[in-house]
């Protein structure tokens, strides 16, 4: 009768435990690197100066969540390419005559910003090209549909 020696069981158990530990570590590392619910388009960001914004809208669920909060953010920028497809700009800067108000990396395709009524300069960089727009924000909600060249 074949008997498995006790130390053979030890090796088998070590192999099973090592496989489980590798799986658990990989799952933990993936969970740490993957954006969770807090990274969706409903997370309010704040600049050093206190200006709040929401950035995202890449998926339908995220767009719906952002639309539900639109009344909180009177100014919205929707960025698209020449063909009308949504795009994410490398950077979106918002400035006043006093200086830069905020700079948003990986901006879009939808950015909603709490801006006071007044004049602002926007600068979007996409595919290495920078385009500028001057806008006057009113007290009522408004949307800038910005078609970026490229």
* Cα separation, 69 vs 65, whole angstroms: 7
* Cα separation, 143 vs 31, whole angstroms: 35
Token duo for residue 118:
């007044």
Which CATH class for the 39-147 domain?
mainly beta
User: For the chain, what are the domain ranges?
Assistant: 1-34, 39-147
Could you report the per-residue pLDDT of 58-106, keeping only the tens digit for each? Answer: 899 999 999 999 999 989 999 999 899 999 999 999 999 999 999 999 9
Could you report the per-residue pLDDT of 3-35, keeping only the tens digit for each? Answer: 545 554 454 444 444 444 444 333 333 333 333
């Amino acid at each position: 009768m074949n008997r498995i020696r006790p130390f053979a069981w030890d090796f088998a158990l070590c192999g099973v435990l090592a496989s489980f530990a590798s799986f658990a570590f990989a799952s933990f590392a993936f969970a740490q690197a993957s954006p969770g619910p807090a990274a969706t388009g409903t997370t309010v960001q704040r600049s050093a100066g206190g200006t709040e914004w929401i950035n995202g809208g890449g998926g339908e669920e995220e767009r719906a969540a952002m639309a539900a909060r639109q009344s909180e953010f009177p100014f919205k920028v929707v960025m698209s390419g020449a063909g009308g497809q949504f795009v994410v700009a490398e950077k979106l800067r918002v400035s006043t005559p006093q200086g830069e108000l905020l700079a948003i990396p990986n901006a879009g395709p939808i950015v909603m910003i709490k801006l006071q009524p007044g004049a602002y300069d926007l600068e979007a960089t996409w595919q290495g090209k920078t385009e500028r727009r001057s806008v006057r924000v009113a007290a009522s909600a408004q949307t800038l549909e910005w078609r970026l060249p490229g």
